[in-house]
Chains A and B, each alone.
Chain A
Amino acid sequence: MIGVLRIAFTHVVTAIRERVTLFWFLVFPVFLLVLLALIFGNIGEEREIRFEVGLVNRDTSGSTPVDFAAVVEETFEGLAEPADEGTPSLFTLYRPSGATDVGAFLEAELTALRRGRRAAVIVIPEGFGAAVLGTMSSGAGGSSELTVYMTTSDVASQMATEIIGQVLSAIDREILVRGGRFDPEMAIDSRAVWLGTTGEETPYVDFVLPGIVLMGFFVNGLFGVPGAILFNRDRRVLRRYWVTPLSVPRYLAGFSIGHLALCALQFALLYVLGRYALGASVSFASAPACLLLVLSAVTFLAFGFLIASLAKTANAGMATANILNMPMMFLSGLFFPIAGLPLFLRLIVYANPLSYLAQGLRSTLGVETSAFSWPLILGVPLGWIALSILVASMRLKWDVER
């Protein structure tokens, strides 16, 4: 038993002392967690949205019974006022002051729009009021168009234009109602009812923390296991063991204990960082969560043995691991939910044990609803473990070939 524990100790201290291994085992998952949490951490949070909009009224007719240009101006002015205390306004409105030359002001606003300092510029054209009145009374009259300037390259500009369009539709409707051409009682109203929230969105860090933990286990298994075994075999380290009474099963037991200890160390580091530095609230302190963590670590340990058994040399083992790494990691929903993938990619998702473990763990932690049933969540990884052990027991060479 002491020999087994010594092998486990050897595995752990070697991984910690070797810089490259340490980076991939501990530094990289921590770095990735922090990076993703910082970049995507504000997904789902409420943000203050305000658009800078220029408004230029060039309609000087003023002879109609209703000053329709003023109605438009007042509507946007209303939107530029905070609805109540503490609620920010939607628009910041820029209008020419009394003495300003309207033409020059419009030019200045369009320049500001091109430079990204305005989301849109609304222009009420000359004769707008008369045109609206004419349209209302006889269906005739000039143009009642408003001109809305925007830039297609700016997302804020596109959003502002969309909102302005909705505001103008409301103004249209009001004008039709006032002109007796539309009965609001006949209008079809819709009411939005939001489902699936309890008032709190799952923070992204809670979503991504289990994913990073599994990624760490996955990388440990995929690279760490064949790396350690094949390099030690090729450098004849294992050969020194085989001339002692140490047997392959005892070596495997020690190696596996050391590997699981490394996974536990990695998990502890990520959990403490996620919980206390990045504000994750997800808790792994439940039997199903612990079971899935252990199952994950064992699955990828066995997967590592499988790769080691398929490769003739350490370099070939690393190449095989590299080939499998990206598709397995990104086609598992580890970092982002998977939706609408083509069939051939979905096949990889369905064959990938990481998919089941990721969804199972998140489901257990209450941060995602699993698309897989529990028999699949447990059965697919267990199947991979059985297959890996079977292949490794038949093919894995423990000494250099002659």
Chain B
Amino acid sequence: MTDEVLLRVFDLVKHYGDVRAVDGISFDVLVASVFTLLGPNGAGKTTTLEILEGIREPDGGEIGIFGERVKRITRPIKQRIGVLLQDGGFEPYLKVHEILRLFASFFDRPLVVEDVLRHVALVDKAGALVRTLSGGQMQRLALGAALINDPELIFLDEPTTGLDPQARRNMWSVVTDLRESGKTIILTTHYMEEAEALSDSVCILDHGTIIAEGTPRELTQAFGEETMVEFRMDDLADARLGGLDACCREYRVDGGSVTVETEDLPATMEGLFAWSRRENVPLDSLIVRQPNLEDVFLSLTGRRLRE
């Protein structure tokens, strides 16, 4: 990653009727970095991405990209970007290599299709019809189509949604490799651990505006020296939870789990075990962890990201 800015968004605005889906957001994306847009459904990240991908036109604001300032993404700019759509489909009766040749034909200087097939590990499936591919193979094909023009800027819109853990890890590895090869990546994801593992910079959106921005470390450090203690509890009766006040300064209940924030872990654990014995609470799935981006979002909005 360098300090050179590849993409600069100025006061971007997009309305859908009376709804301001994107409400004047601005951010920078550095060359050879992974920039992640984070936010719940309806936060405006998909609209932002669609504007930057050239699918929609903004109602206001400007985009600085590849050294020029534009109102909307033009065809010459599209020659230099690659997009992996979250919900894009393919012609089901085309073969894998035909799909890549089709997409290659849209660009002035495409890569060799066979090289891309090797890069996304689909050589064995080159002659298979798209409709016969598994979810993971389909996602690799989509990645291949996004990389066919050797783009400088790559948009990955929830690239691991619906994938099994192995396929998700493989995709993480691809993203890391792309960044190391000098590509700039704009990522959206619902998975906090994914954002934390991959991102150089994170921008958290809510209701069309940016509510926090920085590296994952900068954002989580806003919690200072706090440690999070988390456990599951089936019976969340107020009478039983009331005893927690004595040992835990701050805690929150979410679904079937209780999260305690503490700056004095030994004292908190001691009090927690005493409360557990007194109230006969088993403290299932007890974990001690550092604050994550989910905690950041929760502290900023009072809601979880995936609500």
Contacts and interface: CB of A to CB of B under 8 A. Distances in A.
B61 to A, nearest CB: 19
A244 B93 contact: no
Contacts of B76: 245
Contacts of A3: 105-106
Given A18-B93, A239-B55, A245 B98 contact: no
Contacts of A241: 106
Given A13-B98, A232-B91, A245 B78 contact: yes
B93 A235 contact: no
Interface stretch (B22-30, B81-89, B238-246, B282-290): B81-89
Given A13-B93, A237-B91, A243 B85 contact: yes
A246 B145 CA distance: 13
A243 B89 contact: no
B79 A242 contact: no
A13 B94 CA distance: 7
Interface in B52-105: 53-55, 75-76, 78-79, 81, 83, 85, 87-91, 93-94, 98, 101-103, 105
Interface size class of A (residues with CB under 8 A): 20 to 34
A10 B83 contact: no
Give chain A's interface secondary structure class.
helix
A401 B149 CA distance: 28
A17 B129 CA distance: 10
Given A2-B105, A14-B94, A236 B129 contact: no
A243 B98 contact: no
A324 B267 CA distance: 78
Contacts of B81: 243
Interface string A1-31: 0110111011001100110000000000000
Contact of A10 (B53, B54, B94, B142): B94
Interface string A234-256: 01110111111111000000000
A224 to B, nearest CB: 14
Contacts of A13: 93-94, 98
A368 interface: no
Contacts of B75: 245, 247
Contacts of B98: 9-10, 13
A147 B12 CA distance: 100
A399 B55 contact: yes
A10 B85 CA distance: 21
Nearest to B149: A244
Contacts of B103: 240, 244
A347 to B, nearest CB: 40
Nearest to A4: B105
A97 B90 CA distance: 83
A267 to B, nearest CB: 23
Contacts of B105: 2-3, 5-6
A402 B56 CA distance: 11
22 contacts: A2-B105, A3-B106, A6-B105, A10-B91, A13-B94, A14-B93, A14-B94, A17-B129, A236-B89, A237-B88, A237-B91, A239-B85, A239-B89, A240-B83, A240-B89, A243-B55, A244-B78, A244-B103, A245-B106, A245-B108, A246-B106, A402-B16
Lowest 6 A-B CB distances belong to which pairs?
A235-B89, A243-B83, A17-B93, A6-B105, A240-B88, A244-B106
Given A13-B93, A245-B107, 10 more contacts: A10-B91, A239-B55, A239-B87, A239-B88, A240-B83, A243-B78, A243-B88, A243-B155, A244-B78, A245-B75
